[in-house]
């Protein structure tokens, strides 16, 4: 199947190729899926201000996140089981990111090991997402493998001490094929049983964050923060960055959409941490709005995954390039010359 031509048709194209159960896994949220819906809607509550006669030849999309240079303010969010969307899985996604100038955050529950990503896309800006296992020595070994493969930061996900109530997944009554994942094979070798989400340690706390922050040779980014009070605590315990995230609406249904949470967190810690955001990003104008609200970059999860499902590596690359180009177009029409310097007054709230 050919790559999608527009961002608006990519999920429909993906649904034609992917198994229905796996489509529900990737597409679904928690509970009534209120937060899932509102994540997308919340970005549209901000209106970009069109400015004219700005004299801009071309928008500079470059930015820096925790010392990592990005050609565009866009990373692919960590998503597990990408080979269920397309046989190329995370390796194809990595190549697509490299071609489009985006970064990649690789999930703990990836089908591909970190060294495979490094071999497939050696110049790709890449971050390693961490779920903390009940046996923390396993987590330490997984982090070490990622750092040996050249991953430049660790992204500690903190909003999944337990799994959210996900109706779509329950209806299918299936277990995730954990033994396909390098991280889970290591866990089995070390004597840790259970499915992938059963091995996660629910007791992770600020002391663990501080241990990571003070012992790792790379920056630690904390993913899954929605409240300014938690952002301040994260900053005080050594994090270098933060991802404003509600896990794509997959954890606690009814929590605030990230577009609404972002400004308050930027006001609280934006001078101390690099702030990123995810959840509900569907168009380049959403990226532009996020930058205006103070994010240094955004993470997109479902959209590039639908591209991968719709057209493999080419589909994922096309989606990322469309998202990148739409971002540049939006900023240009807003009279903004650089993605790294979008003023707050470039958007207004409805």
* Domain extent listing, the chain: 7-340
Rounded to 5 degrees, what are φ and ψ at 76? -85, 125
**What integer pLDDT is reported at residue 174 of this predicted model?**
62
Q: Is 247 among the catalytic positions?
A: yes
**What integer pLDDT is reported at residue 82 of this predicted model?**
96
Yes or no: domain 7-340 corresponds to CATH 3.20.20.70 = yes
Distance between CA atoms of residues 289 and 347, nearest Å = 7
**What integer pLDDT is reported at residue 5 of this predicted model?**
67
The active-site residue out of 23, 111, 237, 247 is: 247
Contacts of 5 (CB under 8 A, 6+ apart): 318
User: Within 13 Å of residue 20, how many CA atoms lie on the same side as its CB?
Assistant: 3
Question: What is the per-residue pLDDT across 238-256, written as a single tens digit (0 to 9) for each?
Answer: 999 999 999 999 989 999 9
From first to last of its 350 residues, the chain has per-residue pLDDT tens of 566 668 888 999 999 999 999 999 999 999 899 999 999 999 999 999 999 999 999 999 999 999 999 999 999 999 999 999 999 999 999 999 999 999 999 999 999 999 999 999 999 999 999 999 999 999 999 999 999 999 999 999 999 988 777 877 777 766 666 678 999 999 898 888 777 678 899 999 999 999 999 999 999 999 999 999 999 999 999 999 999 999 999 989 999 999 999 999 999 999 999 999 999 999 999 999 999 999 999 999 999 999 999 999 999 999 999 999 999 999 999 999 999 999 999 999 98
**What integer pLDDT is reported at residue 329 of this predicted model?**
98
Distance between CA atoms of residues 15 and 301, nearest Å = 16
Return the structure tokens found at 205. Answer: 């706390």
């Amino acid at each position: 199947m050919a790559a999608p031509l527009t961002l608006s048709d990519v999920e429909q194209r993906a649904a034609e190729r992917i198994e229905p159960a796996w489509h529900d896994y990737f597409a679904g949220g928690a509970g009534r899926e209120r937060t899932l819906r509102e994540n997308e809607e919340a970005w549209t509550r901000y209106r970009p201000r069109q400015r004219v006669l700005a004299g801009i030849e071309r928008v500079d999309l470059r930015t820096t996140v925790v010392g990592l240079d990005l050609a565009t303010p866009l990373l692919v969010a960590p998503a597990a089981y990408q080979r269920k969307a397309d046989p190329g899985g995370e390796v194809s996604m990595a190549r697509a990111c490299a071609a489009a100038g985006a970064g990649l955050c690789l999930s703990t529950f990836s089908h591909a090991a970190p060294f495979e990503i490094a071999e497939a896309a050696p110049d790709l800006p890449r971050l390693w997402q961490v779920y903390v296992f009940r046996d923390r020595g396993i987590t330490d070994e997984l982090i070490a493998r990622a750092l040996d493969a050249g991953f430049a930061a660790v992204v500690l996900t903190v909003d999944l001490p337990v799994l959210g109530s996900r109706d779509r997944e329950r209806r299918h009554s299936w277990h995730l094929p954990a033994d396909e994942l390098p991280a889970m094979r290591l866990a089995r070798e070390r004597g840790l049983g259970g499915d992938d989400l059963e091995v996660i340690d629910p007791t992770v706390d600020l002391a663990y964050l501080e241990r990571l922050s003070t012992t790792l040779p790379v920056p630690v980014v904390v993913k899954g923060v929605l409240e300014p009070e938690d952002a301040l605590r994260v900053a005080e315990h050594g994090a270098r960055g933060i991802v404003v995230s509600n896990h794509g609406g997959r954890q606690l249904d009814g929590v605030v959409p990230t577009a609404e949470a972002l400004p308050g967190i930027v006001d609280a810690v934006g001078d101390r941490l690099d702030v990123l955001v995810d959840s509900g990003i569907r168009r380049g104008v959403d990226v532009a709005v996020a930058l205006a609200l103070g994010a240094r970059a955004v993470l997109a999860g479902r959209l590039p995954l639908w591209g991968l499902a719709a057209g493999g590596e080419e589909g994922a690359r096309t989606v990322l390039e469309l998202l990148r180009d739409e971002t540049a177009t939006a900023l240009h029409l807003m009279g903004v010359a650089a993605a790294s310097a979008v003023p707050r007054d470039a958007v207004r709230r409805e």
